[in-house]
Amino acid sequence: MAIQEQLLPFKLHFAVVAVAAIIITCFIYLGPTFSSLVGFFWPLLLSTTFLLAAVAVLLRISPPPHTDVAACRAGDDIIDFVAGTHYEQLAGAAAVEERPIPKAL
């Protein structure tokens, strides 16, 4: 009786696990087999294997070039300009006027 009293607070957990087990069993029973999945997707799996093998061979033949620090920082000025709004750097900053938003009819 003491064990039942200790397990009573976990009643919801047991119910969730039981429902999940039933759902998983139904999916396994009603779902496709592994061989049918491989039979359907074998062209995709084969082409992906060939692509990854080609990438591995190309990286081994010609490794990517080493980049210096100056090349990595080449676009930082543009990124800072785009990320932040610097109206004073724009050529026509004085010509920009704020127009009131027209009200909907």
The pTM of the full predicted model, rounded to 2 decimals, is: 0.41
Question: Which distant-in-sequence residues (6+ apart) come within 8 Å of 99 by Cβ?
Answer: none
* pLDDT tens string 25-52: 998 899 888 899 999 999 999 999 999 9
DSSP H helical ranges for 1-105: 2-7, 11-30, 34-61, 69-72, 76-83
| Tens-digit pLDDT profile for residues 55-78 | 999 989 987 777 666 666 777 777
- pLDDT the model gives residue 83: 77
If one compares 96 and 19, the residue with the highest pLDDT of the two is: 19
The domain limits of the chain are 2-65
